[in-house]
Chains A and B, each alone.
Chain A
Amino acid sequence: MISAPDVVAFTREEELEDDLYREPPLPEEYSVPLFPFSGQGANPWAKVAGSKFTRDFILISEFSEQVGPQPLLTIPDDAKVSGTFDLNYFSLRIMSVDYQASFVGHPPGSAYPKLNFVEDSKVVLGDSKEGAFAYVHHLTLYDLEARGFVRPFCMAYISADEHKIMQQFQELSTEFSKASECLKTGNRKAFANELEKKLKDLDYTRTVLHNETEQQKKANDKGYYTTQAIEKANELASVEKSIIEHQDLLRQIRSYPYRKLKDSEFHPYEPDCALDRADVGSDQNPTASDPTELGETHLYTHVPSYTPKLIKAKSAKCFDKKLKTLEELCDVYFFTQTLDQLHHIERTFRGDVCYLLTEQISRALLKQQSVTNFLFEDVSVLDEKPPEKQYRGCQGLGQDAIDEKCSEESLAPKVVISLGSYKSSVECVPIKMEQETEDSEEPKMSESVISEHQENLDYLDADIKGSISSGESIEVLGTEKSGSGLTKSESQASLPVIPSPQAGRSKVGSRRTVSEDSIEVLSTCPSESLIPEDFKASYPSAINEEPYADDDEGGLRFTPRANPGVDDGQDDISKEESLVQVDAACCIGKESPNFLEALPELGQKPCEEDGVVRIPPQPYRPAEQGLRGGFPSHHGLPGGLLPCELDSRYLTGSREVSKSSLDECSDSTSHISSAASTCSDRTPSPAHPACAAGERHRKRAGQNALRFIRQYPFAHPAIYSLLSGRTLVVLGEDEAMVKRLVTALSIFVPNCGAYAKPVKHWVTSALHLVDFQKWKLIGLQRAVSPAGVNVLHALSRYSRYLSILDADSKTLRCPLYKGTVVARLADHRTQIKRGSTYYMHVQSILTQLCSKAFLFTFCHHLHLPISEREPEESVVNRRMNFLKHQLGLANEDIKIVQYLAELLKLHYIQEPGQGGNPLLRFDYVPSFLYKI
């Protein structure tokens, strides 16, 4: 965790603005927070006036063929949430912007009705009257009884904060696509079932009719047909036709997965619980089709025994029948899954957009620290989806092709609304370590790019056709297919992109390019035209000369071979910076005085010109040129480029993105994704399901930890034990108390690998050596039974590997700690009150530790001799020197960094396939008994 949202809010006034004004004259627009309602309330965090609902919610509506648009349900399902907000009215609004051409029926030249597998459409619209802005996700479900077999639905995320919708468009789109896919999967299943039943009915009816006809034939020896007989024959014929039609429909619905698999964007719904994995195909990879096919077909064959009914020739009138509910349409299981997903969406996007943004930014930054992030971060959150996938694809595109496209596309200028889009610096800093895999993926991806592009052309007509204007107060601010700024970011980690000046200039054209597909700006309300404003605001320097010649060659790409620091290039800049210093110090063999200066920068906040919310707490400040002076060849780029460029990318508000820098990479991405309307699977999903839970856990752990450090004077040695890899056993009778302590301390435990934290909350049996390998923090039951004696025996036997915190008698037995790091980490006089804040404080110090460990680990000459003749002692001396003087570590702090470095080494060396043997490292150091 790098960022701290609650810090953001308060830093703005002082440092940030100061720094801001020190910069060369800023355009006027920057000084005003770009907040739509800034006129009404000075505080950008104040609840937006004008909206009739209290908080964001999700609305599901249907365009019923009987009663027209109607709201079905809201999430959260609470009347208070929507308040006086007119759901019916809003349903009408959102349903009326469904501009997709969902044609089902008898296409000309086809004998049978044809199911049209309609893509979902995603639209953002705003209702200025209501003060509501919505992300609207339209989808169609199949219903045999419905007109044209389709039932249009839509899910809308409604918020009073327009920026949230805009900036989180990608994330919303991803999450809603999952929900939609879940619904549709269930619906296909239900539809197929329904068809099968219907077929059985028809078959039965045919048999009955056939028998009747035969009987009539036999009974009738007059030689001519009665009208009755003719009627029967007609009926039979129509039943036959109906059978064929339904069979065809069944075939179509069943072939859906196969058909879709050809489209690279197809992503079958993947249930969260492993239980259903077998049913629904678990492979996300569109090219790996087999499991999916099997899964889907298997799914359809599961039809319970059914007694066929006789079907009357005349079907009931349209309005007589009761339409199926959503639940019936999609199978109960899938319906609940969808609801779960929607609840999850609601939870994820709850709250102010600045929290979401900082969260996403820090996650994206962490993701880049591939070497160290496993130590203290919940890697499961980071790992969720590899965002590089599409990005690699773009890289694979030849430079020429991209340029061509750019020039072509820039011919058609058009005003496009920029939607929130993010660009990660992953893009800018290619990760060298993954180069091989990247290479291997390239061909595949470029293929898919092409195919998607072609497909896009096919869809083009429909898109244009589909864009219709809406009511007067509704602006459709953009659809997915239109916004280039939006689409380009589909695959990328969510960092707001800053328009670096030169990028702005060169990108205007390319931004316009994609927009020719569709006209999404349906702004009919002139007063609310935010777009031009945005343009102005963020584009003061759009026509700047580009100062960086390197941009043409891929923006901010480091050359693949950099020094050991960059090799894991995902580290944040400050680390790289420091590393440079270190390199200087240790490689050249003289100490760089700058190094020490560089380090304090780790915690510095950046300053950028944009609005309040979108300044991510960047642990980086442009470093003095002098620091980098010694390394002109470092990245093959001018040293000065790095900070500015990266910085700007990190810091840009997302609204500006539209005009902002689409470098070749993002440009081609935008091209791709503009075509693929539903390829949401590739987008990074910043909001992880675990997030909400993780948040709560963090808060609790932070609170407990805060209490622990205030309550126990020997918190420092205890934390030192954890940080230095010595297993800490919390011993106590009361399970709740022990668990609380374990939870509190767990935030200090470094991970040993990309697995769960090595923490065991509660053990009742005697510990063994193997346990200390696995767990670094153990809650142990103290019992008076004979078994309990064994437990104590084991503890005393293995006491050299353990620190023991006795929760009952409030004692701690562990080695002495005299360092300084833990004192900063756990100051019992801290002013921090809130658990989550303390958690962040801890994380930031741990991140510093990580960076030190990183430097230590990857400095070649600290571990290996410079020349072959160099004795081992001098290497050891150099190493200790570095730890003490360069990293400023004292006493036991050295051991912490050494332990972390050891973990880093193990993690890096470890082959991905094999788990490797867990090591147990220990020291022969005396322990002391601490008492309160």
Chain B
Amino acid sequence: MLRWLIGGGREPQGSAEKSSVQTIGEEQIQNPYTELLVLKGHQDIVRFLVQIDDCRFASAGDDGIVFLWNAQTGEKLYELHGHTHKITAIAPFSSSDVTEEKTDFIITASADRTVIVWDCASGRQVQKVSCFHSTVKCLTVLQRLNVWLSGGSDLCVWNQNLDLLCKTSHLTDAGISTLVELPKNCVAAAVGKELIIFRLSASNNGSEVWNILEVKRLVDHQDNISSLISVNGSYIGELIVWDALDWTKQASECNFWDSSVHPDVQTEIKLSQSPHESSVQHLTSDDECVFAAVGKGIYVYNLQMKRVIACQRTAHDSSVLHIEKLPNRQLISCSEDGSVRIWELREKQQLPAEPVPTGFFNMWGFGRANKQANQAAKKMQENTPVYFLDLVGDLIGHSSAVQMFLYFGELGLATCSADHLIILWKDGERESSLRSLTLFQKLAQNGDLQLKL
């Protein structure tokens, strides 16, 4: 898509209509990011960004190197070499020892079948485990229990000293693709099309004996599970599983209040859209809603209403890879097309007389009771506010797919991309006043500043 050609029209609006991707002009009043810093260092696709603390983050990617960055200054803090293959998972892990001093670690897993624990303060490798039979594909830290789990072809539980506490038997060759922590010491692991729920139990005699038990297998998915989240807040214990490809969404409330699990599948929403080669790429949630990146689009599913309340079918020119909800009702998404977009979930002010825009929910078919559900949805729609996602800004900087981003609140936004770069997007106004502050601090420090009032 070429929105603007040299010497061409004044505004790119005309051509934008055709591509049906919502575009925003060059004037973006609400877009706070007016300054950027390019962080160079990686030599291959940067796939992961994890936040370590308020002002540090780590990046990792296919070059097997982990970089630690200062999110404020963009300064490269450490360059961690240790892995020989690409990094497949990364997780931050902070442990407080006896002296209550918090130490930050990061755990990285790589395709070289090793897991390394790094000390973020010194940039040194703390420990390295290389006893895996297969690549560890996911890492989850259970901060509460002070253990972390690695998921590959089997699930292992480790404590912070890297002692293997227990492990499951060999699950599949494909291995665990995602892990998520559930209440009551449970974890859900996505293994292929199955979702397996494990329970972790420490033996009660105080000795460090851990057990991991498989408690439930959920087999409703038609295809591989690619993303898994646990919704907290008011819906404790609820697990929502979005499936890929077959466009089913399962909202399965798994109550773990007692050991018997009732996997009552209450709704299953099927997307009736013709199946492109798109799938649910990423999920995120807040107290009310689940936000799903499906193909090129973004969908907002309200948990209370149990329906999709807003969607943007083609939010990007190509697949959305990562989305995240900001505290201020904004949503950020990044995509393979190299752009990052900022959306705001707004309530649509609708005149009652105005006909309901058909087509907005038409694409949603309800799997089992298609007709009734559809009608029900329409009914509901009449007395509930309608939401829509409004594009408030876009960030164009990467020349290749933006793999992931990390929102640092005031400090800005870090994006990583397949073009080997990490970009720190910052609020120019804020940075400018910060620099002024630094300037006058430096003046005072040098003794140059003596105001005579």
Interface residues of A (CB under 8 A from B): 432-433, 435-436, 560-564, 566-568, 583, 587-588, 631, 633-634, 731, 768-770, 773, 782, 792-800, 804, 806, 809, 811, 813, 857-858, 860, 863-864, 898, 902, 905-906, 908-909, 917-929
Contact = CB atoms under 8 A, between A and B. Distances in A.
B439 A905 contact: yes
B11, B423, B449 pick with most chain A CB within 10 angstroms: B449
Contacts of A929: 7, 9-10
Given A922-B34, A924-B29, A924-B393, A567 B448 contact: yes
Given A769-B423, A905-B439, A633 B7 contact: no
B26 A926 contact: yes
Contact of A769 (B29, B35, B397): B397
B35 A922 contact: yes
B428 A921 contact: yes
B351 interface: no
A927 B26 contact: yes
Interface of B: 2-7, 9-11, 25-29, 31, 34-40, 73-75, 393, 396-399, 421, 423, 428, 431-433, 435-440, 442-443, 446-453
A436 B446 CA distance: 9
A813 B12 CA distance: 13
Contacts of B34: 921-924
Nearest to A906: B435
Nearest to B419: A768
Contacts of B40: 770
B122 to A, nearest CB: 21
10 contacts: A562-B450, A563-B452, A566-B448, A799-B26, A806-B7, A863-B437, A902-B435, A909-B439, A917-B75, A925-B26
A564 B11 CA distance: 45
A811 B399 CA distance: 26
8 nearest A-B residue pairs (beta carbon): A567-B448, A863-B436, A924-B28, A561-B450, A905-B435, A796-B4, A917-B74, A926-B26
B37 A860 contact: no
A527 to B, nearest CB: 55
Given A898-B432, A917-B38, A920-B35, 15 more contacts: A432-B447, A564-B440, A567-B446, A587-B453, A769-B38, A769-B397, A770-B421, A792-B2, A809-B7, A857-B436, A919-B431, A922-B34, A924-B393, A925-B27, A927-B26
Nearest to A633: B452
Contacts of A918: 38
Nearest to B4: A796
Contact of A860 (B446, B451, B452): B451
Contacts of B421: 769-770
Contact of A800 (B26, B35, B438): B26
Contacts of A860: 440, 449, 451
Contact of A798 (B74, B396, B450, B453): B396
A928 B3 CA distance: 15
Contacts of A813: 6
A804 B7 CA distance: 9
Contacts of B27: 924-926
Contact of B448 (A561, A768, A799): A561
A924 B451 contact: no
Contacts of A809: 7
A909 B6 contact: no
A563 B6 contact: no
Contacts of A922: 34-36, 428
Nearest to B446: A433
Contact of B6 (A568, A634, A804): A804
Contacts of B74: 917
B38 A770 contact: yes
Nearest to B440: A860
A902 to B, nearest CB: 6
Residue of A795, A857, A924 ringed by the most chain B CB atoms within 10 A: A924
A796 B396 contact: no
Given A587-B451, A769-B399, A926 B35 contact: no
A773 B31 CA distance: 20
Contacts of B6: 731, 782, 792, 795-796, 804, 806, 813
Contacts of B437: 863-864
A182 B17 CA distance: 71
Contacts of A798: 396
A455 B73 CA distance: 52
B66 to A, nearest CB: 20
Nearest to A815: B26
Given A863-B440, A905-B436, A924-B29, A567 B396 contact: no
A809 B6 CA distance: 10
B336 to A, nearest CB: 14
B449 to A, nearest CB: 6
Nearest to B436: A863
A334 B447 CA distance: 48
Contacts of B423: 769
Contacts of A633: 452
Nearest to B30: A924
B36 to A, nearest CB: 5
Given A433-B446, A564-B448, A925-B27, A909 B438 contact: yes
Nearest to A565: B448
B398 to A, nearest CB: 8
B447 A560 contact: yes
B15 to A, nearest CB: 10
Nearest to A434: B446
A130 B213 CA distance: 110
B440 A563 contact: no
A432 B397 contact: no
Contact of B453 (A588, A795, A923): A588
Given A433-B446, A567-B446, A860-B451, A796 B399 contact: no
Nearest to B397: A769
A560 B447 CA distance: 8
Contacts of A435: 446-447
Contact of A799 (B4, B28, B393, B451): B4
A920 B36 contact: yes
Q: Which of B3, B26, B29 has the largest count of A CB atoms less than 10 A from its CB?
A: B26
A569 B312 CA distance: 58
Given A432-B446, A634-B452, A924-B34, A908 B4 contact: no
A357 to B, nearest CB: 32
A923 B4 CA distance: 18
A432 to B, nearest CB: 5
A563 B450 CA distance: 5
Residue picked from B9, B31, B431, B440, most chain A C-beta under 10 Å? B440
A923 B393 CA distance: 12
A811 B7 CA distance: 7
Contacts of A927: 26
Contact of B442 (A587, A731, A908): A908
> Counting chain A CB atoms within 10 Å of each CB, which of B38, B438, B451 scores highest?
B38
B2 A793 contact: yes
Contacts of A588: 453
Contacts of A863: 433, 436-437, 439-440
B6 to A, nearest CB: 6
A800 B396 contact: yes
Contacts of A563: 449-452
B448 A432 contact: yes
Contact of A797 (B26, B39, B396): B396
Nearest to A904: B439
Nearest to B395: A800
Given A564-B443, A587-B451, A773 B7 contact: no
A920 B426 CA distance: 10
A567 B440 CA distance: 11
A587 B440 CA distance: 14
Contacts of A769: 36, 38, 397-399, 421, 423
B405 to A, nearest CB: 16
Contacts of A566: 448
A857 B439 contact: yes
B435 A564 contact: no
